[in-house]
Structure 1
Amino acid sequence: MKHIKRKFTLLFTFLLAFSLLLAGCSTSSSKQEKVRIAEVTRSIFYAPQYVAIEKGFFEDEGINVELTTTWGGDKTMTALLSDGADVALVGSETTIYVHAQESTDPVINFAQLTQTDGTFLVARKKPDFFSWEQLKGSTFLGQRKGGMPQMAGEFGLKKHGIDPKNDLKMIQNIDFANIANAFASGTGDYVQLFEPQASLFEQEGIGHIVASFGAESGKIPYTTFMAKESYMKENKETLEKFTKGLYKAQLWVENHSAAEIAEVIAPYFEDTPVELIETVVDRYKSQHSFALNPILDEEEWNNLQTIMEEAGELPKKIDYDVLVDTTLAKKAIK
């Protein structure tokens, strides 16, 4: 009888401990706060974001990220403004466009992801040596008018004495998704491309990377995490945790090799060989495209507006403090 009683006691103790463990797991799970992110495109350029998800840096902070690719700046901002997303990952210029329309709930940049343009100049023929002068009189496949890639591209051209409107034939009536195909089919002497398409074309002999617009345009808040002002006020602690998770990923990316990063983010690019992902990551790391921390500084903001103004796309100058809030970013790096 004592033996049976002892077995029952042990069983009860085990069940009690197991139930407490389950309760603990349930409590931990219930603390996870969902943040819905709308990313403007799926790109190796956004490697730190995917690292933050895959390495569990967001999860460690109690954040459950729901990531959606919205394919285009207009669609991304529409998702954010209509409450289809909590946070948008897109170019900072979009916040200026929204503000110019006198929005009653402005969109605020709170954490920076990339700090240079992410496109490259690809030539159809490989030159013995490259000079920007070679673009004069050529046909150039550009990006969408008013978008950051196009504005940064024009800024780079002007920096080298090339007038985009008069010194070359600029083609801008092709959808973003079809620009690479148009070039591959024989349209244009030069094209402005994101990775991994630029490196893929180089591998296939379709084109040759001759310059980086990221290196030419300098540091700018090219891609940032942003949210509506109302959401930021109501979810301050959530976004603080989110930014901490992001910063952990930024540090991890800075301190690990391109090969290690490529291995982590490979699930997001199933149709891209991991060796190509590594090549692209290495190229972006070498030109310091990935922001080292989430702080968007005033010099970068002013450079962004200078580029927009040069392109004739700046509705009006906006003071740094109006659309940028570094409070969360500064807390994250402490």
Structure 2
Amino acid sequence: MSSTFKMSFSILFAAVLIIGLSACQSNETTQKTEKIRVAEVTRSVFYAPQYVALAKGFFKKEGLDVQLKTTWGGDKTMTALLSGGTDIGLVGSETSIYVYTRGSKNPVINFAQLTQTDGTFLISRKKIDHFTWSQLKDSRFLGQRKGGMPQMVGEYVLKKNGIDPHKDLHLIQNIDYANIPNAFASGTGDFVQLFEPQASIFEKEGKGYIVASFGKESGHVPYTSYMATKSYMESHQSAVSKFTRAIYQAQQWVADHNSKEIAQVIHPYFKDTDTDMLAKAIDRYKNQGTYATDPILDPKEWNHLQSIMKEAGELPKQVDYKTLVNTSFAEKAIKD
């Protein structure tokens, strides 16, 4: 082998090596994950598709590192969003209306719906074999935070069934959201509104009995949606698109699997609750169509939300659907 050939071969080998290393480095760069901070308003089986997306690695497959924290309240979730403490919030759509009507220059936009009915159940301290809504009259009702979705939908359902919550009940609304279950367990109230799995846990422990579902009574409403500030969505369009696609995959997975399978997958997020209890709670939600099967928030649901807010005296002013709802990411997720 001539020295010239050896030199040419060495140069060629070095070039191939450099190209190979560059390709590996380029591949590593493209595989880098993007961090997204998500604040959920509460921890509940109500949000099962979200935990499926995390547990099944749907976010990871999209190149996202989703860091989830629970903020315990709509006001706290919105504060985190507006202050830059989180990137995406999972919270009731009513909060976006409150922020917008207060004149925010950086409105919060709903881009993916997760739940489409109320997620609370009416719990009675005493067992009632044949419940009627009229049995609530003159009772002590432990309600949710004034102006929040649980309380507004609760009032809507009560009025629909002939109960004026401010005249026919001894309404208790001065207890912090996170402490409502403990307050009821300690003896406050004859009835309470609770999410799952807390409702089923109370029933199992004999602390209360599920007598009605607000979700069945309320009809479709954008109860909980993913939202972000307008500025974040404009500067992170790719991330929001990937996030929505992962949520849609999870929604489809939940729709296609039974409650026991879902319970096993999300159990790491509810370690203190056994899988049978989780499956029972999930079954309740699936049977009443609580989990949205796609992330599109439609105009009819948006208008129903504002009707409920108006009925509760909490709607500052009517807000056009297109002002605070962006379905382009959801539509793309379904198309993809």
TM over 0.5: yes
Whichever residue aligns with residue 81 of structure 2, its letter is L
Q: Equivalent pairs: percent with the same residue?
A: 64
Q: Which residue of 2 aligns with 1:168?
A: 169
1:128-149 Cα offsets, whole Å, 9 max, x none, are: 2111111111111111111100
Whichever residue aligns with residue 178 of structure 2, its letter is A
Shift of residue 35 of structure 1? 1.4
Q: Which residue of 2 aligns with 1:293?
A: 294
Shift of residue 58 of structure 1? 1.3
CA–CA separation in structure 1 for the residues paired with 2:229 and 2:162: 39
CA–CA separation in structure 2 for the residues paired with 1:57 and 1:25: 20
Shift of residue 22 of structure 1? 6.2
The 3-state SS of whatever aligns with 1:333 is helix
The 3-state SS of whatever aligns with 2:31 is helix
Q: Which residue of 1 aligns with 2:135?
A: 134
Deviates more, 1:226-235 or 1:21-30: 21-30
- 1:78-227 aligned at under 5 Å gives the runs 78-227=79-228
Distance 1:134 1:88, change over 3 A: same
Q: Which residue of 1 aligns with 2:69?
A: 68
User: Structure 2: which 5+ runs fail to align?
Assistant: 1-12
CA–CA separation in structure 1 for the residues paired with 2:26 and 2:177: 48
Shift of residue 75 of structure 1? 1.3
The 3-state SS of whatever aligns with 2:284 is helix
Whichever residue aligns with residue 263 of structure 1, its letter is Q
Match among 24, 27, 30 for residue 29 of structure 2? 27
Q: Which residue of 2 aligns with 1:5?
A: none
Shift of residue 59 of structure 1? 1.5
1:84-142 Cα offsets, whole Å, 9 max, x none, are: 11111110000000001111111100000011111000111112211111111111111
CA–CA separation in structure 2 for the residues paired with 1:225 and 1:106: 14
1:269-301 Cα offsets, whole Å, 9 max, x none, are: 111111111111111111111110000000000
The 3-state SS of whatever aligns with 1:325 is coil
CA–CA separation in structure 2 for the residues paired with 1:107 and 1:180: 30
Whichever residue aligns with residue 102 of structure 2, its letter is Q
Shift of residue 185 of structure 1? 2.0
CA–CA separation in structure 2 for the residues paired with 1:171 and 1:330: 41
CA–CA separation in structure 1 for the residues paired with 2:79 and 2:182: 27
Q: Which residue of 2 aligns with 1:9?
A: none
CA–CA separation in structure 1 for the residues paired with 2:266 and 2:180: 25
Structure 1 length as normaliser, TM-score? 0.92
- 1:269-284 aligned at under 5 Å gives the runs 269-284=270-285
CA–CA separation in structure 2 for the residues paired with 1:19 and 1:275: 51
CA–CA separation in structure 1 for the residues paired with 2:272 and 2:21: 44
Q: Which residue of 2 aligns with 1:267?
A: 268
Q: Which residue of 1 aligns with 2:320?
A: 319
Whichever residue aligns with residue 111 of structure 2, its letter is F
CA–CA separation in structure 1 for the residues paired with 2:237 and 2:41: 23
CA–CA separation in structure 2 for the residues paired with 1:287 and 1:246: 20
Whichever residue aligns with residue 212 of structure 2, its letter is A
Structure 2 length as normaliser, TM-score? 0.91
The question of whether the paired residues in 1 share the 8 Å contact of 2:72 and 2:177 is answered with no
Please tell me whether residue 41 in structure 1 is matched to residue 42 in structure 2.
yes
1:306-334 Cα offsets, whole Å, 9 max, x none, are: 11001000000101011001011011101
Q: Which residue of 2 aligns with 1:3?
A: none
CA–CA separation in structure 2 for the residues paired with 1:269 and 1:20: 44
Distance 1:19 1:280, change over 3 A: farther
Deviates more, 1:145-154 or 1:227-236: 227-236
The 3-state SS of whatever aligns with 1:88 is strand
The 3-state SS of whatever aligns with 2:293 is coil
Shift of residue 182 of structure 1? 1.9
**May I ask how many residue pairs the two structures share in their alignment?**
321
Whichever residue aligns with residue 267 of structure 1, its letter is P
The 3-state SS of whatever aligns with 1:34 is strand
The question of whether the paired residues in 1 share the 8 Å contact of 2:72 and 2:178 is answered with no
The 3-state SS of whatever aligns with 2:81 is helix
Whichever residue aligns with residue 259 of structure 1, its letter is K
CA–CA separation in structure 2 for the residues paired with 1:270 and 1:211: 27
Shift of residue 204 of structure 1? 1.4
CA–CA separation in structure 1 for the residues paired with 2:27 and 2:200: 45
Shift of residue 181 of structure 1? 1.8
CA–CA separation in structure 1 for the residues paired with 2:185 and 2:76: 27
